[in-house]
Amino acid sequence: MQKSFQRKIQELQKKQHAVILAHNYQNPEIQDIADFIGDSLDLSLKAIKTDANVIIFCGVDFMAESAKILNPEKTVILPDKTANCPMAGMVDAESLGWLKKEHPDAEVVAYINTTADVKALADICCTSANGVKIVKSRTAKKIIFVPDRNLGLYIQKQVPEKEMILWPGVCRTHHDIQKEDLLALQKEHPSAEILVHPECQPEIIDLADFVFSTNGMVTHAKESSKKEFIIGTEKGLCYRLEKEIPEKKFYPIPSAVCPNMKKTTLEKVLKSLETLEPKIHLSEEIMQKAHLPLQRMMET
C-alpha cells in the first residue's frame, strides 16, 4: 500500500514539477519521500533555491507561509490545511502593534513561528538556528521578541547587552518536557550527551550539554565523538537521526510530540499533488511587508 502511494507520488511530482520539503518532525513515511528534510531555516533556504513550480510543504502553516512569502510566484501547498503551530497563534498583529507603540525605541524580532501579518510588523525574523546572531546584529538596545518566551530567555542569556521584552508564548511540546524526563533517561544512559532545543524551559536548558535547532542536533551528532544522545525536542527527529547515523544511539523524550506535525500523511500528499490544493493564499500587501524581515534574516 505504502509503496503504491510512493510510486504515484513520484510520478505526479515529475508531472507537476513539484518539490517536497519536509520538516524534521514529520512522520517517517513523509521523511522517506521528501526531496529535502530540514529545520525552519534550512527549508526556507531550500524554498528559495528550488526551480520547481510547486512546493509541497510537509510541516506546519508558518513554514509553508514563509516559503510562499519568499517565492510569491510559486504554488505552495500545505497538504493538511489544519496543520498549524499553536505557538504562532499566541501573538496577533493588533496586540503586537500596541506593544510597539509602548516601546517606540525597540526593534521587533519575530521568531519564524509567527503568522504572516505578525511578520509584517517585524524588523527582522529569526529561527532557533540563528536567534542569537540575529538579536546581536540589531542596533537598537531594546528588542521586542515574539512569541516564544523560552527562546527569548535563552537568547537574552547569550546577549546580555540587549534589553529584551518577551512575549508570553510557549510551545507546549517543548515547554512540557520536564526535568524528571531528562534525569530518568540520563540515569538509564549515563554516557549519553544531552541535546535540547531552545524552546525548552530554562531549567531544561541548564541540564543540557548543548542547545541546538533540529538541524544543529543532526550536524552535532554526526560530528561528535560521542555515541549516545538524549534528544530534547519533538521525538520525530530521532527517525532522521537513526536513519542518517545508524551507528549511534538516540533516546527521545516519549511524551514530546507535536500533533500538528503528524497530520501530514502520504494520502494527503498524493491528493495535494493531484489537485494542487490546499494552496497558501496571502494578500499582496502582507506578502510584501513580511518579505523584508525574512529577507533581512537571510542576509544577516
Among the listed ranges 8-16, 82-90, 101-109, 207-215, the one in contact with ligand SF4 (CB under 6 A) is 82-90
**Cell output for 141:** 538596545
Tabulate helix, strand, coil % of the chain (nearest 5).
Answer: 50, 15, 35
Smallest separation, CB 69 to ligand SF4 (Å): 17
- Does position 128 interact with ligand 13P (CB under 6 A)? The reply is yes
- Does position 171 interact with ligand SF4 (CB under 6 A)? The reply is yes
Residues 37-56 that bind ligand 13P (CB under 6 A): 39-40
- Does position 83 interact with ligand SF4 (CB under 6 A)? The reply is no
- Does position 31 interact with ligand SF4 (CB under 6 A)? The reply is no
List CB contacts of 54: < 8 A, sequence separation 6 or more: 16, 17, 18, 19, 74, 75, 76, 77, 273, 276
- Does position 128 interact with ligand SF4 (CB under 6 A)? The reply is no
Smaller CB separation from ligand 13P, 50 or 113: 113
Coil vs helix vs strand at 130: coil
Smaller CB separation from ligand 13P, 123 or 199: 199
**Residue 264 contact partner, candidates ligand SF4, ligand 13P, none, CB within 5 to 8 A by sort of partner:** none
d(CA 281, CA 146): 23
**Cell output for 244:** 542518517
- Does position 213 interact with ligand 13P (CB under 6 A)? The reply is yes
d(CA 82, CA 85): 9
Nearest to 239 by CA among 226, 252, 257, 254: 252
Coil vs helix vs strand at 40: helix
Coil vs helix vs strand at 76: strand
In the set 9, 13, 22, 24, which binds ligand 13P (CB under 6 A)? 24
Coil vs helix vs strand at 299: helix
Smaller CB separation from ligand SF4, 111 or 250: 111
Question: Which residues here bind ligand SF4, judged by CB under 6 A?
Answer: 60, 85-87, 113, 171, 173, 199, 234, 258, 260-261
Question: Which residues here bind ligand 13P, judged by CB under 6 A?
Answer: 24, 39-40, 113, 127-128, 171, 199, 213-214
